[in-house]
């Protein structure tokens, strides 16, 4: 029942998706029909100037009504559309009464096709039936078989045009949906890339600047306490070293964003060599995906920064294990040997563990961190 009361889609009723050739063909048909109607009036002969002018005006009025019908059906306005159809059929009656049989036939046939093509079928059926009845009466019933076949042909032609328009409208909607999906996918990829860049900037700056802040804050405290010049220079040198390392890490982050990174093991060996830590590698080494390798690097850096801040002088061990479908990094410290100055506790960003955990979860992995029997343990697992 729904198909009888439903309208063709607006895409089907509009000109969207029609080729220029098809649009030109439709205009050509309308011009031919208008010419045939005018010729049918002029061929009668014996008409006065005013009668001829009235007939031509009637033909033009009919085309204006058709234009309005196209607009009302496009907006799915049922009663205005039906009213215009009744007006056109009435124009056929007037044309027949005035002796314009050609014009009346054109109007009634056009009403049949346009009603079936653009109206809900429940409204189109009675309009088509009345139009074909008028066409049959005009024929005088002399050849009812030809009249019936003509009516069926017009209905079939209008319904075929309706199905063709619906197919075109469906194709247009699917194309628009595909374009919207591609645009959403591109926007999602852009946002993901922005988030990735933001994480890299945060991780690099948080690691470098927080370490520099620790050293600079310690320098300030040493100066306030009147410490030896050598101790102050040692802290300044350490801060300068951290600045250089931060610059190098920034370059590494840019290389990582371009997908150009050194192997993870090489990076970890350089890290433990700088900090006097120990590295153990288990399993068969292999190349890691860029995101997984970057997560291992950043977690190792952040964990090392936390050791500097909270457990200076602690012995540190890193274990990198290659598993069939993932890689695990275990970072363990065994407690600091130097008392921690609580006045430096506010120098860090405070987002280290949370940032590391978010990075792991985004990759489908996990990060566990907490105190051990002696010291602190950070364990990262990511698919690789």
Residue by residue, DSSP assigns 69-84 as: HHHHHHTT-HHHHHHH
Low-confidence winner among 100-104, 170-174, 262-266 (lowest mean pLDDT): 100-104
Structure tokens at 307: 């050791």
For residue 111, which of 91, 94, 97 has the smallest C-alpha distance? 91
pLDDT attached to residue 174 = 85
pLDDT attached to residue 339 = 45
How many other C-beta atoms are found inside a 10 Å radius of the C-beta of residue 328?
19
Angle at CA 90, nearest 5°, toward 85 and 93? 135
Report the C-alpha gap between 176 and 116 in whole angstroms. Answer: 27
pLDDT at 293 over 50: yes
Pick the CATH number of 182-383 from 3.30.565.10, 1.10.1380.10, 3.10.150.10, 1.10.150.130: 3.30.565.10
pLDDT at 185 over 60: yes
- Residue 51: pLDDT band by 50, 70, 90 thresholds? low
pLDDT: is 147 or 276 the higher one?
276
Whether 207 and 249 have beta carbons less than 8 Å apart is answered as yes
pLDDT: is 84 or 35 the higher one?
84
pLDDT attached to residue 381 = 92
Print burial letters for 236-254: b (CB count within 10 Å at least 16), e (below 16). eebbeebeebbeebeebbe
pLDDT attached to residue 327 = 93
- How much is the mean pLDDT over the chain? 77
Whether 13 and 117 have beta carbons less than 8 Å apart is answered as no
For residue 376, which of 301, 287, 294, 311 has the smallest C-alpha distance? 311
Q: Mark residue 295 as left, alpha or beta (left: phi above 0; alpha: psi -120 to 50; beta: remaining).
A: alpha
The mean pLDDT of 40-68, rounded to a whole number, is: 69
pLDDT in tens, 322-371: 998 899 999 998 875 544 443 333 333 334 677 778 878 888 889 988 88
pLDDT at 226 over 90: no
pLDDT attached to residue 341 = 42
CA distance to 78, 118, 119, 227, per residue, from 75 (Å): 9, 11, 11, 85
pLDDT in tens, 305-315: 788 777 787 88
pLDDT in tens, 93-103: 877 777 777 77
pLDDT attached to residue 346 = 35
Domain with CATH 3.30.565.10 in the chain: 182-383
pLDDT: is 23 or 131 the higher one?
131
Task: Quote the longest CA-to-CA distance of the chain.
Answer: 126
pTM above 0.75, yes or no: no
pLDDT attached to residue 329 = 93
- Residue 44: pLDDT band by 50, 70, 90 thresholds? low
The mean pLDDT of 76-90, rounded to a whole number, is: 88
Report the C-alpha gap between 147 and 149 in whole angstroms. Answer: 6
> What's the half-sphere exposure (Cβ side, CA atoms, 13 Å) at 352?
25
pLDDT: is 191 or 39 the higher one?
191
Whether 356 and 299 have beta carbons less than 8 Å apart is answered as yes
């Amino acid at each position: 029942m729904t198909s009888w009361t439903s309208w063709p889609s607006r895409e089907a009723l509009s000109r969207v998706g029609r080729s220029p050739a098809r649009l030109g063909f439709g205009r050509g048909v309308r011009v031919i029909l208008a010419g045939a109607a005018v010729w049918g009036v002029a061929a009668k002969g014996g008409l006065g100037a005013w009668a001829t002018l009235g007939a031509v005006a009637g033909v033009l009025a009919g085309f204006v009504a058709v234009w309005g019908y196209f607009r009302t059906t496009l907006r799915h306005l049922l009663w205005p559309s039906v009213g215009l159809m009744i007006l056109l059929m009435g124009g056929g009656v007037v044309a027949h009464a005035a002796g314009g049989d050609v014009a009346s036939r054109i109007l009634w046939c056009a009403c049949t096709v346009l009603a079936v093509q653009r109206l809900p079928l429940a409204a189109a059926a009675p309009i088509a039936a009345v139009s074909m009845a008028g066409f049959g009466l005009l024929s005088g019933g002399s050849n009812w078989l030809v009249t019936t076949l003509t009516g069926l042909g017009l209905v079939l032609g209008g319904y075929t045009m309706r199905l063709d328009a619906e197919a075109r409208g469906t194709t247009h909607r699917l194309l628009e949906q595909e374009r919207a999906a591609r645009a959403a996918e591109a926007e999602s990829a852009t946002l993901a890339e922005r988030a990735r860049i933001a994480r890299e900037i945060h991780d690099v700056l948080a690691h470098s600047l927080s370490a520099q802040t620790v050293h600079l804050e310690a320098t300030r405290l040493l100066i306030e306490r009147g410490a030896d010049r050598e101790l102050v220079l040692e802290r300044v040198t350490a801060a300068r070293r951290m600045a250089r390392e931060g610059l190098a890490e920034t370059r590494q982050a840019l290389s990582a964003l371009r997908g150009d990174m050194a192997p993870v093991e090489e990076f970890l060996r350089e890290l433990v060599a700088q900090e006097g830590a120990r590295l153990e590698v288990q399993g068969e080494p292999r190349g890691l995906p860029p995101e997984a390798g970057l997560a291992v690097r950043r977690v190792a850096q952040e964990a090392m920064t936390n050791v500097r801040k909270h457990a200076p002088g602690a012995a540190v061990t890193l274990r990198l294990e290659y598993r069939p479908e993932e890689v695990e990094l275990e970072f363990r410290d065994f407690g600091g040997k130097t008392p921690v100055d609580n006045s430096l506790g506010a120098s860090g960003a405070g987002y280290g563990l949370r940032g590391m955990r978010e990075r792991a979860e985004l990759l489908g992995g996990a990060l566990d961190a907490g105190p051990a029997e002696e010291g602190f343990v950070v364990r990262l697992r990511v698919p690789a």
